[in-house]
Chains A and B, each alone.
Chain A
Amino acid sequence: MSIDSNTVRKIARLARLKVTDEDVAYYGPQINGILKWVEQLQDVNTDNVEPLASVSQIDLHLRTDIVNDGNKADDVLRNAPEKMEGFFVVPKIVE
């Protein structure tokens, strides 16, 4: 299946990537090429096959519900592009 330039724009929007017309012309054929290439998977019979999300066979263990980390506000904010009085600063969201 082939995707058109509107779909490329829609994907970019979902992925929060600003794209120009030039970008759409560049990525469109590449994404189509890859999608066409992966279509060969449809040749494989996967009836009654369980999807494999991870090879890890570890059961997640529970730990005691106690605070074992924290008080690191300065570390957390250390690399913030903009901060003020212990908060991240972002552009205005609510008008």
Chain B
Amino acid sequence: MSLVHLTLADAIKKLRAKEISSVELTKAHLEQMEKFRTLNAFITETPELALQQAAQSDARLKDGTARALEGIPLGIKDLYCTKDIQTTAGSKILEGFIPAYESTVSQKLLDAGGVTLGKLNLDEFAMGSANTTSGYGNVLSPWKPNDGRNLPLTPGGSSGGSSAAVSAFMCMGATGTDTGGSIRQPAAFTGTVGIKPTYGRCSRWGIVAFASSLDQAGPFARTVEDCAILLREMSGYDEKDSTSAKVDVPDFTKSLIPDMKGLRVGIPKEYRMEGMPEEIEKLWQKGITWMRDAGAEIVDVSLPHTKYALPVYYIIAPAEASSNLARYDGVRYGLRVEGENLIETYENTRAQGFGREVKRRIMIGTYVLSAGYYDAYYTKAQKVRRLILNDFIEAYKKCDVLLTPATPSAAFAIGENEDDPIKMYLNDVFTVTVNLAGLPGMSVPVGLSSNGLPLGLQLIGKAFDEETVFRAGFALEQAAQFNALTEMIKKAA
């Protein structure tokens, strides 16, 4: 067995017991990165830095000053600013941008002893659901369908580099960000675990902004426990982010008890979508049975405004994005394409630096915020957003956690859904409500589709109750015994 097949939790134990060294573990991951380089999961690899950090970790492990993640090789989504390491946000407009500072969350991982393997590919400015909008090429999933079609599959998006790297065992865990489903959908597509915590749980400081009222950082890993360890280290109040919450960070690993006694699991009827494949419905039913078998009480609930979540999202997110992305003007950092005058310099720079998806969203955002349309679109969307939040508040009077499908289908081929933006947006139909309401949501792999691709279920918790999400996720993981990822990668390697 290669060292890369260890879980993060086991690697921590073996490092502390001196059965393995961080340099060995890091080298094994660097080799795996080379083996799977064709997936294009990394934009920037930092092997020298990784080995240097690993050696420092080994010294600490030796002298008894090891920290929580000492010597664990991790990947960082290239939306997190990393000091002295290129940070692109997947956009050509930021090519060559070298931050002078480190994002709070990545700094926390460094302070916990994490080893940085490099910066992971993503959709441009995290706008996309297939990792096909990156300025640095598509990311491929290590998964192949078993129906004989040899089509390259999407690892999901926007955190496609993170999901591909974790599912191909190139890193033990990775950071992602989730604005409408960008952690949970790629996790579901690749058979990995991903959690978007409550809005405010992790600091957004130093993470390139997309839609500030929706963006949240979160981890990817291959087990629920590994995600719990990573989220514990990533979370916490930060005075540099005025939306970060001053609440205690529990040790989420303490919630991992495979027993749901005394908990009520809500099943929202509106998540039974028209045209949803039967296998998704079946899997959901299976999940309900597993929850019941683990001792949970199953409760039917209603979230009546669910179908309006995507249209609300595609007004609010572009509106916030058009404001946030105004900063890319070719003056202070990033690309500059000169024009005859300043305005033309702005227009040339942005026309050349941004890709099509980003430009479309900036234009929609600009339109819905413009004089005469603001109330009809933007204010209306914010009002419906309130109703979506109220739906959840009502539902949580009857239950403690919700169980839903994570995605309406398994991973699709790269190039599919590209002709029609709305079709692509529908990927996020089960995840986007959670961002609008600011709640924690986790995707857990539980089975395979008819063509042998992973499928996930989603758990949605109350605000700042990640503990129940982890408890339910762990129970689901124990019941599902999803081993297909490890089998797949051993065959592929």
Chain B residues numbered 42-98 whose CB sits less than 8 Å from any CB in chain A: 96-98
- Across-interface contacts of A56 in B (CB, < 8 A): 199-200, 213, 243, 245, 438
**Closest CB of chain B to A43's CB: distance in Å?**
8
Let me know if B385 is at the binding interface, CB within 8 A.
yes
Whether B350 pairs with A18 at a CB distance below 8 angstroms is yes
Whether A52 pairs with B311 at a CB distance below 8 angstroms is no
How far apart sit A60 and B191, CA to CA, in the bound complex (Å)?
40
**Closest CB of chain A to B206's CB: distance in Å?**
13
Total count of chain A residues near the partner, CB < 8 A? 50
Whether A30 pairs with B360 at a CB distance below 8 angstroms is yes
How far apart sit A89 and B98, CA to CA, in the bound complex (Å)?
19
Let me know if B288 is at the binding interface, CB within 8 A.
no
A 59-95 to B, binary, CB cutoff 8 A, 1 in contact else 0: 0100100000000100110111110000010111100
Let me know if B383 is at the binding interface, CB within 8 A.
yes
Let me know if B483 is at the binding interface, CB within 8 A.
no
Most B Cβ at <10 Å: residue of A38, A56, A60: A38
Let me know if A46 is at the binding interface, CB within 8 A.
yes
Whether A51 pairs with B386 at a CB distance below 8 angstroms is yes
Whether A34 pairs with B422 at a CB distance below 8 angstroms is yes
**Closest CB of chain B to A74's CB: distance in Å?**
8
**Which candidate, B160-168, B339-347, B467-475, is the interface stretch facing chain A?**
B339-347
Let me know if B290 is at the binding interface, CB within 8 A.
no
Contact-size category for B: 35 or more
- Across-interface contacts of A38 in B (CB, < 8 A): 311, 314-315, 377, 381
How far apart sit A18 and B338, CA to CA, in the bound complex (Å)?
12
B 132-173 to A, binary, CB cutoff 8 A, 1 in contact else 0: 000000000000000000000000000000000000000000
Whether B100 pairs with A78 at a CB distance below 8 angstroms is yes
Whether A58 pairs with B246 at a CB distance below 8 angstroms is yes
Whether B335 pairs with A58 at a CB distance below 8 angstroms is no
Whether B366 pairs with A93 at a CB distance below 8 angstroms is no
Given contacts A34-B422, A55-B389, A79-B332, contact A16 B350 (CB under 8 A): yes
Whether B384 pairs with A41 at a CB distance below 8 angstroms is yes
How far apart sit A42 and B383, CA to CA, in the bound complex (Å)?
11
Q: Out of A3, A17, A93, which one reaches B350, CB within 8 Å?
A: A17
For the complex with contacts A17-B350, A37-B422, 11 further pairs of A-B residues with Cβ separation under 8 Å are: A8-B363, A15-B322, A44-B384, A46-B383, A50-B386, A76-B332, A79-B332, A79-B334, A81-B330, A81-B331, A88-B332
A-B contact pairs, 25 of them (CB 8 A): A7-B367, A11-B363, A16-B329, A16-B347, A18-B347, A19-B351, A27-B360, A34-B314, A34-B421, A38-B311, A40-B311, A41-B308, A41-B311, A49-B386, A50-B386, A52-B385, A56-B199, A56-B438, A58-B200, A58-B244, A75-B101, A79-B96, A79-B334, A81-B334, A93-B342
